[in-house]
Structure 1
Amino acid sequence: MFRLLRRMRRDERGQAMVIGAVAMLVLAVSVMASVSIGHGVYEKIKLQDAADAQAYSIAVKEARAYNFLAYTNRAMVVHYSAMLTVMSYVSHAVYLDQTLRSAASVLKYIPVIGAVFAAVEAALKFWKSAVEVVSRVLIPILTGLNIALWLAQEAMLYSTLLDLVTSDGNTVIQGTDPKAQVGVAMTHGTGGGNPGLSVLRAVTSTNYSNLKNFLHPLDDGPHSSGSVDLSDPTGTGTRSKLLRDNKLSDPDMAKYRLLMGNLANAVRRRWTAEGEGPVLIGRRWNLGLCLALFQVRIAKTADSQIKSFHEDFENNRKDQLYAADDIQIRVRPACFIGRWRTVFQLRFRAAADAQGGFHQEFGRRKTDDHHDWTGITPFVTSDPSFIRPWQYHFGYPCNVTVLSKDMGAVSGANNAPFQMKNLSENAFMKNVSGRIDAEGEIVGDGFLDMTWKYVGGYRMANGDFDDDADHFRQTTGGMMAIAVGRAVYHRPGEWKEEPNFFNPLWTARLAPVKTHWEDSAMRLMIREWDLSAGWFRNAFNY
């Protein structure tokens, strides 16, 4: 008997089983914890990818819209330049008609060479008639095209606004993470999962801020510190005044007329802007003659430009396509000595404007020749902000995407993943000195609960942090992701210029959240971002 007891006391068989059982338990807990943590990390990555994809997609749409505005504005500039060139041909044709054709009409009676001058007269007469017809047809067509381009710009703005609204069922979000949900902060107060432009009435929603950020670089869009006009969010009404009113004294209209007029004048060809060409038939030339008693100079000058007039000028001519071909004869008493004095000049000019335009063929006399032009048409331009540029980012529109995912954090949720309730209720995993939650369960430092039940902060028996923690769980389902996209203006290389809607250089990129959205702005749009809230501060210490 004693021998058996001694043998059993010294027998070491079976120890591996005990150690193995304990090790397997630890291993099982570790595996479950790793799987649960890995699952949470995976779901977070998927959710963040969806938020990044949506933020970048919005930035791409904004950049494409701005580039479309740039392309259409450049097309308008080309059209105005073409109108100026046409009027230059009209002015030049008037000059040729009143000089060379008039001379040819007399010289054609000279024997032998008279036939040549007769042909010149006929050719110049045909040329003047042809350019007159072309100008009267082409200018209204180009004006109509500019109006059509402006309407296309407005349509692009409104369609982009609809595309920027982040709502449930978004294809980009669902294609990246089918479990992702649009955060409450995105559409708060809009009264629906697919709010459309009704988000303009919810000034505390993130969607509203995104739309406002897209619109505020517009010259007549909402200011960064203001609100969006629900009746005219893009400023179409202000721009449309150019079609019916003419008040250069009104800065809202003067800025459009002067900007587009200066741009069109800046891209003129040299022949259109100041003229060039051979003597007699060109738009600009000089002839000098030094005689015994005096010196003579005949100067041919040219000019073509878009002019904008005050509403009180000559019966309100508004904007004008102006072209001039002038001849001036000057003399001075001795060669290379003395002052020049003008003794004779002729003005050959043509203009198109809202009063029918005119021809000026002799001196100062103007004749109405029915060159109608409604003037510069509306277009969309930008107003980049250089006040506090680090805050407003030089007029670059930023957008925020806030997504959430139901991980079972809401009390009573039936879809909580990886529950380990049976393990968490074992006595050796409880800490009797821990806190008691509202359901009477011990929540200690050793409490093992791999569900998302207490995400956002624990709940103590006295109710501390209860409201904020519940708010976070109710609005996010346990997981939230934020991303910021930005449409930026950048010309490759060392060239630097202000953001504008005339060069298609807009591109999209993701931006750091903290560098753009200050705490005050984030608290206004997203309650969960309030760093002063107790649940947020203590969530990292749980």
Structure 2
Amino acid sequence: MRLPLRLPGSVSARARRRAQRGQAIVLGALSFLVLALMVTLSFNLAHALRQKMGLQQHSDALAYSMAVLEARSLNYYAVSNRGIAASYVAMNSLHAYMAAASVTGEMMRASEKNFKEFERIEYLRCACKGCYEHCLHAREAAQTAADFARAGRSYDKRLRALESSFNAAVRGVDVMVDNLHASQREAHTQTLQAIQDGRSQGLNHLAAETAPDVGALPGAVGGLNANEFNCAVDGMSCRGSVENASPEALARVMTEISNATRSGWPAARKAGGLEGGTRKPKYLHQDFLTELENIAKREYRVTSHEGTAKSVQDKGQVNAGGKQGGNQGTTVAAREEGTIQNTWRYHGLRSSNDYDAEVWSDANGGGHTPGGAHSGSHTFEGVNANALSGCARSGNCFMKFRANPSSDRDWGQPRVYSYLTRPLRVGDPRKAPWELNASARIQLTHGAQGTGSLTLAAQEGVALSKALVYYHRFGANGWREAPNLFSPYWRAKLHPISPDEAVEVLEAAGNTDASRLAKVPGVSL
């Protein structure tokens, strides 16, 4: 029996097959390791992308929400500014009514002067021989003049009793202006806090609902928001915009608006208010007109009568026309004036005399003519008497929009920025097993090849957003109206951020690497 000979160094086919099966196991194990790493890496990437998208959505929502708070504040300033202007209009009307009431005594005294003139003429005629009837007429004229004088004193007395209520009303309106502005300052302070920390005024609920693990808004970024908001209000401390207007210029704005919005009666009471054969000013009380008519025996007519009330620099300017500058509204004044003509029922004699009454309120306590009707004081601080920064509780200030002529500054409309960070990995393998360990990093050793490492998840994500608070009145031509704080048409929207703005925000947040990247031309933000 022949046995097969096996030469030294030869390998059987079965042995070769066994050796090949061993290589397949090793390669398969390595392939499964790579596949496991790829699956783990995909899980990490998906989680990081989800976290990053949530972070960006929250950053956009925060920027928009802060802009909405600013828009609501600016709309409140507009509505309350109208309230302040209406307060000055009300003060003008108060003075107009007081001047109209004060002129009653002066009209009686003007008629008294007319009848004293008749008395003088009759006494001159009484001196002649056989002119005794003129003496009787003189005594009758003197009695009528005395009746008018007594009536004038009576109306002055009534005015003195009324003036205490008038003084209280003036003080009340002046205090109301201060309170309205104090509420504006409080709204401004609370809005500033919210856009600085990103959590006040209910913004913390936004993070709790959408991204509880998000970082806080950096203080320096909040400082940019606060500066932008302050720059929108003339008189506030601001960097990088136009200078503040002077308190006098601010005062002229509100003065002109309050004067322009007066109703017709306090603004101009002219001959249109006269009616009938005796030309009675129809807004004066009928009891007064009846008494005037009875004393004069129906022989009178008001040949002219007018009145006005307005905010002026000096009470002597109350009848002056409007002008472009110089009226800072330090005084609220009213004047009522006219001419009354009496006809003497004997001999066809006529006499005319002027009458006038003034009421004014200023920092010195105001005044009132005729003096017999005046009592007490009615102080008026003046329109925007102090700088806005020192006008928290007094000074009759208001909020005025500070426009900027540069389109790069969005014409002064405030911008709002959000810069937030968020961890992109869980950091706990028990909750996120795809991260493998707390550091989400693995090390590989491959013989002579050395040691390598692989990070499976980024440590932190960053989101940057911008919103714009803008003014737009409703209607087809709404864009043509310049932004202002007298009409409540402020809105908010997300807005593209320019590279220069991104660099400013990133540097404020301390992210120098990203700020250098933002400076590279053509890099998308």
TM-score, normalised relative to structure 2: 0.63
Task: Tell me which of 462, 465, 480 is aligned to 1:480.
Answer: 462
More helix by share: 2
Q: CA deviation at 1:527?
A: 4.1
In structure 2, distance between residues paired with 1:517 and 1:27: 44
Same amino acid, percent of matched pairs: 21
Partner of 2:137: none
Give the secondary structure class of the aligned counterpart of 2:511: helix
Q: Deviations over 1:228-249 (max 9, x none)?
A: 9xxxxxx9xxxxxxxxxxxxxx
Q: CA deviation at 1:62?
A: 1.5
Q: CA deviation at 1:415?
A: 9.1
Q: CA deviation at 1:490?
A: 2.0
8 Å Cα contact 2:96-2:266 kept in structure 1? yes
Give the secondary structure class of the aligned counterpart of 2:274: coil
Partner of 1:92: 100
**Pairwise mapping of residues 74-223 of structure 1 onto structure 2 (< 5 A)?**
74-99=82-107, 128=159, 132-166=163-197, 170-182=204-216, 186-187=218-219, 205-223=220-238
Q: CA deviation at 1:507?
A: 2.2
**Pairwise mapping of residues 265-344 of structure 1 onto structure 2 (< 5 A)?**
265-275=259-269, 276-279=272-275, 280-282=280-282, 298-309=303-314, 319-327=330-338
Q: Deviations over 1:121-142 (max 9, x none)?
A: 9997797567534322211111
Q: What letter matches 1:272 in structure 2?
A: P
Give the secondary structure class of the aligned counterpart of 2:281: coil
Q: CA deviation at 1:88?
A: 0.6
In structure 1, distance between residues paired with 2:247 and 2:225: 28
Partner of 2:493: 509
Give the secondary structure class of the aligned counterpart of 2:498: helix
In structure 2, distance between residues paired with 1:423 and 1:148: 62
1:349 paired with 2:343, answer: no
In structure 1, distance between residues paired with 2:158 and 2:112: 15
Q: Deviations over 1:51-101 (max 9, x none)?
A: 122212211221222222222222111111111111111111122333269
Task: Tell me which of 374, 377, 398 is aligned to 2:380.
Answer: 374
Q: Deviations over 1:3-51 (max 9, x none)?
A: xx99xx9xxxxxxx99999998887666544433322221111111221
Q: Deviations over 1:198-222 (max 9, x none)?
A: xxxxxxx112111111212221212
Q: Deviations over 1:301-340 (max 9, x none)?
A: 2221011249xxxxxx98222111222599xxxxxxxxxx
**Pairwise mapping of residues 431-446 of structure 1 onto structure 2 (< 5 A)?**
441-442=451-452
Q: 1:325 to 1:408 in 2, by over 3 A?
A: same
Q: What letter matches 2:226 in structure 1?
A: L
1:391 paired with 2:397, answer: no
In structure 1, distance between residues paired with 2:518 and 2:502: 20
8 Å Cα contact 1:385-1:392 kept in structure 2? no
Partner of 2:456: 450
Q: What letter matches 2:93 in structure 1?
A: T
In structure 1, distance between residues paired with 2:37 and 2:335: 91
8 Å Cα contact 1:89-1:131 kept in structure 2? no
8 Å Cα contact 1:283-1:301 kept in structure 2? no
8 Å Cα contact 2:160-2:373 kept in structure 1? no
Structure 2 stretches lacking a partner, 5+ long: 1-12, 18-24, 116-139, 142-147, 285-300, 316-327, 342-351, 383-394
Greater RCO, CA 8 A, separation 6+? 2
8 Å Cα contact 1:174-1:180 kept in structure 2? no
Partner of 1:419: 435
Q: What letter matches 2:470 in structure 1?
A: V
Partner of 1:60: 68
Give the secondary structure class of the aligned counterpart of 2:236: coil
In structure 2, distance between residues paired with 1:420 and 1:272: 82
Give the secondary structure class of the aligned counterpart of 1:503: coil
Q: 1:145 to 1:417 in 2, by over 3 A?
A: farther
Paired residue total: 409
Q: CA deviation at 1:491?
A: 1.3
Q: What letter matches 1:84 in structure 2?
A: N
In structure 2, distance between residues paired with 1:222 and 1:127: 50
In structure 1, distance between residues paired with 2:162 and 2:356: 19
1:253 paired with 2:247, answer: yes
Q: CA deviation at 1:106?
A: 11
In structure 2, distance between residues paired with 1:253 and 1:373: 20
Q: CA deviation at 1:352?
A: 2.0
Q: 1:277 to 1:418 in 2, by over 3 A?
A: farther
In structure 2, distance between residues paired with 1:384 and 1:135: 36
Q: What letter matches 2:331 in structure 1?
A: Q
Give the secondary structure class of the aligned counterpart of 1:324: strand
Q: CA deviation at 1:512?
A: 1.9
Q: 1:321 to 1:366 in 2, by over 3 A?
A: farther
Partner of 2:294: none
In structure 1, distance between residues paired with 2:498 and 2:239: 18
Partner of 1:231: none
Q: What letter matches 2:413 in structure 1?
A: Y
Partner of 2:47: 39
8 Å Cα contact 1:308-1:319 kept in structure 2? yes
8 Å Cα contact 1:307-1:319 kept in structure 2? yes
Give the secondary structure class of the aligned counterpart of 2:434: coil
Q: Deviations over 1:405-431 (max 9, x none)?
A: 123599x99998733699976799x9x
Q: 1:415 to 1:404 in 2, by over 3 A?
A: farther
In structure 2, distance between residues paired with 1:274 and 1:182: 59
Q: What letter matches 1:378 in structure 2?
A: N
Q: What letter matches 1:303 in structure 2?
A: T
Partner of 2:387: none
Q: CA deviation at 1:371?
A: 4.3
Q: 1:26 to 1:181 in 2, by over 3 A?
A: same
